[in-house]
Each structure stands twice: as C-alpha cells, then as structure tokens.
Amino acid sequence: MPSVTLSDVAREAGVSLATASRAINGSANRTVRPELRERVLAAAAALHYSPDANAQAMARGRTTTIGLIVHDIADPYFSSIAAGVTAAAEQAGLMVTLASTGHDPEREIAFIEVLQSQRARAIVMAGGRTDDEAVNDRLRAALAAYRAGGGAVAMIGQPLFDVDTVVIENAAGAADLAGALHGAGYRRFAALAGPAGHLTARDRMDGFAAGLATHDAALSPEHIVRSAFTRDGGYEGMRQLLESGAAVDVVFAVNDVMAVGAMAAARDAGVAVGTGIGIAGFDDIVTLRDLTPSLTTVRVPLLEVGTAATELTLAEPALEPRIQQVASTVVLRDSTPPRT
Amino acid sequence: MPSVTLSDVAREAGVSLATASRAINGSANRTVRPELRERVLAAAAALHYSPDANAQAMARGRTTTIGLIVHDIADPYFSSIAAGVTAAAEQAGLMVTLASTGHDPEREIAFIEVLQSQRARAIVMAGGRTDDEAVNDRLRAALAAYRAGGGAVAMIGQPLFDVDTVVIENAAGAADLAGALHGAGYRRFAALAGPAGHLTARDRMDGFAAGLATHDAALSPEHIVRSAFTRDGGYEGMRQLLESGAAVDVVFAVNDVMAVGAMAAARDAGVAVGTGIGIAGFDDIVTLRDLTPSLTTVRVPLLEVGTAATELTLAEPALEPRIQQVASTVVLRDSTPPRT
DNA sequence: TTGTACGCGTTATCAT
DNA sequence: ATGATAACGCGTACAA
C-alpha cells in the first residue's frame, strides 16, 4: 500500500530523481557528492524505501533471476543439486526460481517459457532425459527460443541439447564400479536397469557392461531387469530377480534409491544383503550413507555439479557448447563385501 | 536480442497496442472481435512473441512470484516442504523463488528484503527458530515491512511471529510417541535433545516429557544430552550417552536425521538397535523409510505442510493470524520392538 | 468493439 | 556533479 518510490525519496531528500537513483544504486561511476549521498540514503531509510526489482529490470534490461528446472525437488538427487545452484546463485547475487516438473516434459517446456517471460538470465536444467525425440525436439525448440532471447542454458546430465552441459560420468563410473566389484571377487552379475528409454540409466548400464567386459565377465540378458527409476522400481525389480531364481552374487542398481528398494526386497525375501547377495547403487546420496549394510555406490558430487552448472551459465558465452565432466568415484562399502 | 514486443505484434497484426494486449492476455472482459483476436494471436505466434513478465508486473501492479525461504534445501525435511510449495504454487499459476539460507538469520533477513524488492506476492518461511530474541525481532521487523507493502507471509513451525502459521504438532506428537513407547514396554528413557535454544527441539522435548509424565514415567536430566540438530549431532550425542554407561532402554532423538546418527553410533559401539536399545526419531523422512532396523518416528506430512502454507498465503488476508495445525502421528517400527 | 494516451518505477542519455 | 527527460514493455481508463 504505502509503496514508496524513488521519487518520494528524491523529494524527501530535496534532490532530483536522477541523483537519488545514482546515490542509491551506487553504480560504477557514482558521481554524487558525499553530502547529497548521505541525505538521499537517510531519506530512503526514513521512508523505508525498497527498490522495485521489476522496474529496475525493465530499465536496466536485465534481471537478477536464474531458473532451475528439476524433475522432483523432494528427490535427494535434485535437492543436492539445488543446494549447489542456490549457493552459486547467491554468490553471484542472483535469485533462483525453482520449478519441479514431476518428470513431465510438457511442464518442463511450460516452465522454460515462463522463465523466458521473466527474462531470467539463465536456466539450469537437471534430470535424466529419455530417447523420445519428439519431446526432445520440442524441448530443443523451447531452449533455442530462450537462448535467442539472450538467455544462457546449462544442462546437467548428458550432452543432448547442444548447450553447455555438466556431464556426469555415468558410463565411466559404472565401468569402474564393475571393475571394483570384479576385483572384490564377484562373478555373477545382475542389474536393475531402470526404464528402457532413460538415457542416464542406459549410460550407466552400458558402462557397467563395458567394465565387466574388460574383465572377461559379462551380464547375461536374463539378469537385466527393467523397472522404474525409483525406490519402488528397485524393490519390484529385485523381487522379480529373486523370484526368477537367477544365480547371482551381486546386483547393480542404476541409482541409489533403486538400490534401497532392492535391499528392502532382498530382506523381505529373506536374503541377507552383503553376505547373501551384494547390492550396489549409483549417486552416493548423502541421506543414505547410514544404511545397513552401508551401500556400495558411485559417488557423484551433486552439490558441485549444481554450482558448476550455474557458473557455466554465468560465464562468457562461448561459441561452442562447453562440456564439463565431473568425476564420479567408486565407494565400496558393506553391501558388497569382498567375496573370497 | 530480437526482443519482440507487443507493439511489434500489434503492428504485424494491423491493430492497436491496446487491442493486441486485450487479445493476448485475454483478461476477464475480452472485448475483442474473434477475427482480430485471431490475427493478433497469429502475429504473436509468427513473431515468437513472449510477454515480458516484468513489464506486466509493473503495469498490473502485482507479480506472479512467491518466495520460499528454508534453512537448507538439501535437507530432506525442507525439500519435502519445497515439493509441496512448488506444487501448490504451480496450481495457483505462481513461480517460486527459492532461498536456502544455511541456517543464517542474516541471510534470512536479506532474502526477505530481496523478495520484497521483487514484490513477491507471498513468502513461505520454513525452519526451526531459536529463542534469540534479538534476531527474532529483526526478523519480525523485516516481515512487518514486507507485509506493510502488501505481501502475505506464512511460517511453518511454531506460531512465533504473529503471522499465518502452519503449526506442526511437535509437543503432541512427541507426547504420543512417549505414550506409545511406554505402551511397548519401555521404561528407561533417554533423549537426544538438540541444541538448547532450538524451539522445535524444545517443543518436542517438552512434549515427550509430558507424555512420559502421563504414564508416571520420567526422563532424568542426566539422560538428556544436547547436541547439534544434525546427523552428526545425533551420532555424537548417542556416543556420549553410551559412554556414560547410562542404563537406558530407549532413546528419543528429536528428529530423524539425529536418530540416524544415533543408530550409527550405537552400531559402532556394538550395541544392537532394536533388541539392544530402542531408538526413535521425529519427522518420518521418506528417504529414511528403508533403514534397518526401520525407524520408529512421528510422521509429519511435510508435503501437505508445504501446500497448506502456500494456500494460507494465497487466501484472503484475515484480521487475525491464522493458525493451522497439522496432525503428526506415531509410527512404531522395528527400532523399538515391543519390550516384554 | 477499438484506439489514444497515460502511468507503473527505474535507469540512462544528454544538457547544464 | 546535478537535473530534466526519454525510454523500458505493458495494462487500462477514457474517449471515440
């Protein structure tokens, strides 16, 4: 209601609007006498002046907003990334606008358009993509339109959209994991591979298989079960695997939450995780570090992934899309004890 | 760069700016002939027109933004709330601006001011407060200034700031938990009480003690240990408790992540959780539902808390601050098996 | 139903 | 160093 404007401050201080503006934003060349400056600041304080960011955005032609689009902010994978993004954004003096899409590409597109309307400086997009090229094309188009308007974009995951991307070493990490498990004495492998079209899941599976191949081991097709990329998917997949009576000594779940579901399924089936059957995941979700047995996984520095993506969008635009790899490292824990 | 404005669209469609505006925003009384309307929409599509949200905000005098302030978005407690807020916001056609403060009140205040600058419609603030009245007063002042500007505020936690609040039944839930544990046969209680000034921790402790009193049981002071409101705090507190050689059969940690730390400490000390010593938490963090043994806790419907808070801010402003209780319910699990 | 013109709160250009 | 004043992109009385 008592929306006090810069004009009010100027009048109160007995100076012109221009001077008030200069005194307050204190931009580069603040050509304003200290005396007046004080008067203005005092007036502003007295009137409880709060600059209107929207008006500033209009006048300056640029906002102070960065958009973050994730599949599900309640998922620890994404919330860790979000923590990195908010930290980097604050560092840069930006506010982050959060969109949680519930895995719906339509909403991703809608949010991109909204962020474009807000004239957000940049958009960070996280979350595994699928191989649905119809959807991908529309996403590409939305991003292209946004970028045409001067916005920067950074993706997190795999380099799919010809924009700056923070690439998570899914294949390499999974390959390393395969090697480590083989080194620990495991020989009969199975995998909870996630949904068919899921690219992250696919990369991890491919990497795991490649890693096994390095050691003359292999993953027979009947030991690969597909299910949702979620805790319940992991549970269901593991249940099926156990029910099939497959002779397996370790199972790789393509992410930690699926591994958690798998552990639960094993327990429910009376199979001891660790001694009875090994289970490994991917991501190293912090909240899950105290599971029993502790979960073997591949650590992805999610927080840094978030900050890296944010910084990418803030850097000088490059001609070529930048690809920034972040290393993933194997963490062997009790869910895959050495097999003698 | 090729920032196409409404004027461009109007010109392209051969109509006035006003008509273009009416045709596109399609507000209540859209007094525009279908024919022209089509022309405008076609022109907008052809030119890839994207309305400038900032300009709209200025002209309309209100934004489409709601702010969310949390302590740490990576914490599952807050990310669950955030999920509720984003969902409710999308429902209402609003974008949420996220601030993760790292538990720093100074940054909370700073963010409130930024959100005020953005002219955000509302602010949802989550996160336990302390009894530091100096800080609380400054927070109160910042919120008052924001509200004076016409913004709505909803807090999540305890009714501390004379604003609409979604109150989590900390005391009642803890009391119920105490009763349930007593009913399960536990008699020698201990508690990891969190930091001294932490109001949420205090409420839960008070409730727990009250619940015990109902059953003629009690919590002796030497069985109350104070430590950080975190996983590591729980670990450390439990370690101290065990080291002290206290004769205890169940320990109540004032939140789930502390309980997780406590479980880890018990294991490291060779004490079996469940059969050896009972452990209970508070919150029922979803990601933690697959712990072994499964954790007895008090469920707080965090997602609904988030949506409820959001809806409170969007409702017609009331004269009195609204207080909305959300029920918390005891969930007995394997970490506190019946004691015979 | 449509168009004209003003206002929203700032920044920035250009004189002074 | 300071002050008018023109943008910025849009919504909306008011007039036609």
Where b means 16+ CB within 10 Å and e means fewer, A212-225 reads beeeebebeeebbb
How much is the pLDDT for A29?
66
How confident is the model over A30-67, as pLDDT tens digits? 688 999 999 999 999 999 999 999 999 999 999 999 99
Where b means 16+ CB within 10 Å and e means fewer, A125-149 reads bbbbbbeeeeebebbeebbeebbeb
Average pLDDT over residues A80-85: 98
How confident is the model over A238-283, as pLDDT tens digits? 999 999 999 999 999 999 999 999 999 999 999 999 999 999 999 9
Q: Is the pLDDT of residue A27 over 90?
A: no
Whether A336 contacts A296, CB under 8 Å: yes
- Cis peptide leading into residue B293 (ω within 30°): yes
CA distance B96 to chain A (A): 6
By three-state DSSP, how is residue B151 classified? coil
Residues 223-262 of A with CB under 8 A from B: 231, 257, 260-261
The length of chain B in residues reads 340
Average pLDDT over residues A126-142: 95
Q: How confident is the model at residue A297 (pLDDT cuts 50, 70, 90)?
A: very high
Q: Tokens for B277?
A: 């010593």
CA separation for the pair B324, B330 (Å, rounded): 20
Q: How confident is the model at residue A25 (pLDDT cuts 50, 70, 90)?
A: confident
Average pLDDT over residues A163-191: 98
Residues 6+ positions from A73 with CB-CB distance below 8 Å = A79, A82, A98, A100, B73, B79, B82, B83, B86
What is the distance in angstroms measured between the alpha-carbon CA of A62 and the sugar C1' of D7?
Answer: 15
Please provide the average confidence, as pLDDT, over all residues in chain B. Answer: 96
Whether B87 contacts A71, CB under 8 Å: no
Q: Which residue of B has its CA nearest to A4?
A: B149
Can B62-168+303-326 and B170-301 be said to share one CATH topology?
yes
Check B231 against A261: CB less than 8 A apart.
no
Q: Is the pLDDT of residue A103 over 70?
A: yes
Residues 143-202 of A with CB under 8 A from B: 145, 148-150
Residue to test with chain A: of B118, B271, B288, most A Cβ within 10 A: B118
φ, ψ of residue A86 to 5 degrees: the values are -65, -40
Check B99 against A100: CB less than 8 A apart.
no
Residue to test with chain A: of B3, B8, B50, B304, most A Cβ within 10 A: B50
CA separation for the pair A255, B94 (Å, rounded): 32
Residue A113: exposure state from Cβ atoms within 10 A (0-12, 13-18, ≥19): middle
DSSP class per residue in B188-247: SEEEE---TTBHHHHHHHHHHHHHHHHTT----GGGEE---SSHHHHHHHHHHHHHTT--
By three-state DSSP, how is residue A329 classified? strand
Q: How confident is the model at residue B2 (pLDDT cuts 50, 70, 90)?
A: low
Check B113 against A50: CB less than 8 A apart.
yes
Q: Which residue from A327, A194, A309 is spatially nearest to A259, judged by alpha carbons?
A: A194
Domain coordinates in residue numbering, chain A: 6-51, 62-168+303-326, 170-301
Q: Is the pLDDT of residue B1 over 60?
A: no
Residue B27: exposure state from Cβ atoms within 10 A (0-12, 13-18, ≥19): exposed
Q: Is the pLDDT of residue A330 over 60?
A: yes
How much is the pLDDT for A340?
79
Q: Tokens for B188?
A: 């020698």
CATH domain B6-51 topology: 434 Repressor (Amino-terminal Domain) (1.10.260)
CA separation for the pair B274, B280 (Å, rounded): 10
The matching CATH number, chosen from 3.40.50.720, 3.40.50.2300, 1.10.8.640, 3.30.43.10, for B170-301 is 3.40.50.2300
CA separation for the pair A62, B183 (Å, rounded): 62
CA separation for the pair B189, B201 (Å, rounded): 17
B65 contacts in A (CB within 8 Å)?
Answer: 97
Check B98 against A98: CB less than 8 A apart.
yes
Measured between CB atoms, which of A53, A87, A97 is closest to B117? A53
What is the sign, positive or negative, of the torsion defined by CA atoms of B155, B159, B163, B168?
A: positive
pTM of the complete model: 0.96
Please provide the average confidence, as pLDDT, over all residues in chain A. Answer: 96
Average pLDDT over residues B232-257: 97
Check A100 against B86: CB less than 8 A apart.
yes
By three-state DSSP, how is residue A95 classified? strand
CATH domain A62-168+303-326 topology: Rossmann fold (3.40.50)
Q: Is the pLDDT of residue B26 over 90?
A: no
Q: Which residue from A136, A168, A105 is spatially nearest to A306, judged by alpha carbons?
A: A168
CA distance B113 to chain A (A): 8
Whether A158 contacts A200, CB under 8 Å: yes
Q: Is the pLDDT of residue B49 over 80?
A: yes
How much is the pLDDT for A85?
98
CA separation for the pair A158, A309 (Å, rounded): 12
Check B100 against A82: CB less than 8 A apart.
yes
Measured between CB atoms, which of B74, B83, B97 is closest to A72? B83
How much is the pLDDT for B262?
98
How confident is the model over B59-79, as pLDDT tens digits? 999 999 999 999 999 999 999
- For residue A308, the surrounding DSSP H or E stretch is helix A302-314
How much is the pLDDT for B28?
64
